[in-house]
């Protein structure tokens, strides 16, 4: 990530892409499983659906518990604000109309596999990083840059793990199918 000099009011974003040698439906099963996400993140500690929900749909809510060495521990409620099965999953943190952050997975069929993108935007509402900026306003741009770099690293790790899981499932299923294929007798 290059230095951009953005401020929180600019609603800075980060996006990472990965090509996965697996069909979108297989990748979708992984990205839409919010219970898997804490296993992929050093910061996200736990997630659970709210309101008796057991899976994603537009308007569904979930609570996430997070932990960061510098920012401490916090819990947020997120709202699914975009939902198109096997294509798009986005959630706004706290108030869906004025979120502290917005996160999105998008999937596109590509070259026999899937291009998976994860995108995140800070703000426009105040978030935990706002308190660090309040304490050191002269360092706002550096605080934002460091946090975006952390998020970029975390997203990269998440996408790499999703890629490995999806491609491993593909290889396992291909091997299992080959084992079940009838072979002519010699």
- Taking only the tens place, the pLDDT of each residue in 59-118 is 999 999 999 888 889 999 999 999 999 999 999 999 999 999 999 999 999 999 999 999
Which among 163, 2, 13 has a CA at the least distance from the CA of 101?
A: 13
Would you place residue 138 in the very low, low, confident or very high pLDDT band (cuts 50, 70, 90)?
A: very high
User: Can you give the pTM of this predicted structure?
Assistant: 0.88
Which among 122, 116, 138 has a CA at the least distance from the CA of 40?
A: 116
Six token digits for residue 139:
């360092």
Distance CA 36, CA 62 (A): 13
- Mean pLDDT score of the chain: 90
Distance CA 18, CA 115 (A): 6
Top pLDDT among 186 and 119 is at: 119
Distance CA 81, CA 91 (A): 5
Would you place residue 170 in the very low, low, confident or very high pLDDT band (cuts 50, 70, 90)?
A: low
């Amino acid at each position: 990530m290059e230095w951009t000099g953005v401020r929180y009011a600019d609603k800075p974003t980060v996006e990472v892409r990965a090509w996965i040698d697996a069909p979108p439906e297989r990748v979708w099963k992984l990205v839409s499983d919010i219970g898997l996400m804490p296993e992929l993140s050093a910061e996200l500690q736990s997630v659970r659906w709210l309101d008796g929900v057991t899976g994603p749909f537009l308007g569904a809510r979930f609570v996430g518990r997070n932990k960061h060495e510098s920012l401490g521990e916090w819990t947020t409620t997120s709202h699914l604000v975009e939902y198109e099965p096997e294509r798009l999953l986005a959630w706004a943190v706290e108030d869906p109309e004025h979120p502290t952050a917005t996160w999105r997975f998008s999937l596109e069929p590509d070259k026999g596999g899937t291009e998976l993108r994860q995108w995140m935007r800070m703000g426009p509402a105040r978030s935990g990083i706002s308190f660090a900026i309040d304490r050191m306003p002269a360092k706002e741009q550096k605080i934002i840059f460091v946090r975006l770099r952390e998020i970029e690293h975390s997203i990269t790790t998440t996408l790499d793990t999703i890629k490995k899981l999806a491609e491993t499932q593909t290889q396992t299923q291909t091997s299992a199918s080959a084992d079940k294929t009838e072979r002519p007798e010699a």
